Chains A and B, each alone.
Chain A
Amino acid sequence: MSSVPLSARESGRSVDDDVALVAAVLQRDRKATAEFVNAYTDAVYSFIRCRLSPRRDLVDDLVQEVFIAAWENLSSFRGVSPLRAWLLGIARHKVEDYYRRLLQSAQPLEPGVAEELPADEIDLEAIADRERTEQRARQVLEELPEHYSVALQWRYWEKRSTRRMAEATGRSEKGIERLLARAREQFRRRWLA
């Protein structure tokens, strides 16, 4: 998945600026805290909104959770990477926590379902890479049941292996593969409709 473009407020910030900003926030400088929020909320919001689609109702809470977690761990920021990347790392964890919880609660599919489904006719990875089809892919994902949408986003946009997904959700790898097979089939049908 390509990165979120820099907002006007972020552009031009150096890592030194970030380190100075973090130091001021840690000193509980209220104006620095406002600058921190103003500079980086757009990036975190974009990152999460793209990945939680269509559950926009959850985006605001998750973005706020990212900033609270950032405050709680801000003293560990060393300026090795830009503050934006550090925050997006937290956001990625929060999104994966959401994916994991959702797939843990989804009903497992019976063995044999995947075998009954037709072979894939669409290369999902290629679709994900093509800018011009992104909008269509997003529309189709929004039409899918949430656990299918999340499974596909986690696997193909976040590039997580089925093994990793299985470990994170406590399900078997076969179970994840069956879920993905059903999700791909639903995606294919809606894509071709």
Chain B
Amino acid sequence: MDPIFLNAEKRQSKLGTLEDAAAMIKDGHQLAFGGVHSHNGPMALIRQIIRQGTKDLHMIANVSAGMPADILIGANCVDTVTVCYVGMEHLGFAPRFRKAAEEKRINIIDGDEIYYVLGLKAGAVGMPFVPHPPGHEARDNPIFEKTYKRTTDPYTGKEIIVSPAIQPDVAIIHVPRADIYGNVVHLGSVVADDLLAKASTHTIVTCDEIVTNDSIRADPRRTTIPGHYIDMVVQVPYGAHPLSCHGIYNHDEDHIKSYVKGDIDAYLQEYVFGVKDHFEYLEKFGIEHLMGLREQI
């Protein structure tokens, strides 16, 4: 039986549009995004960010970033990128990241999984920095990357390596399901989506399906991120395409291959600037193609 909310009408929906969401991301922001490789990236929102002409982003590329990082760089939205991994997995290097890096058109902060994950953890709980265990002195990241610092461990008196806390201005994640209050249900890999929501000042969720609050309360053990971390929820069917949305559809490998091989300006013209919204983007692929990507686990 449903509980009685005497003030139920006062509980506010967090629903917004892609335009509302993109407008939260300002020039110069630190922008983090969720997912991993060709999976669970908020691609529709990223296309909207490009469409609105956002500039000078400091992109906190996800732990293993592919097309979302590459296309933002290719569209000249990015000034600085915190790199753990930016590549296309079995499809090779991320071509626009590589070119921009080799031409020195972007600033690169060369972290790694410890820098990124423990940095976000520190950001989430307000710790000022991350002390690294011994051994990392033998690697080059703390030598070449200047955001690593050294300090003295007050307990042992030994010199230790530290890296900064990471607190993105805005995190954007794509998930299969959420309710209008921001309660999120993943149907596959969470990766660092939950950590991003905790560490970031604002978090925007795009989702393939809006579910009822009743369905969330029917089994709270399935909720992967509680809604209090979430600022806005946007329903965007196929919002991860051409990446996968775990539990609903596979990644569109042929399309991602053509993105890697093709000309970035022609791609942006055809799939970002040349369509008025997300549904016109989807229409370019057609129902048969999109339905063919669906696969449950």
Q: Do A and B assemble together?
A: no
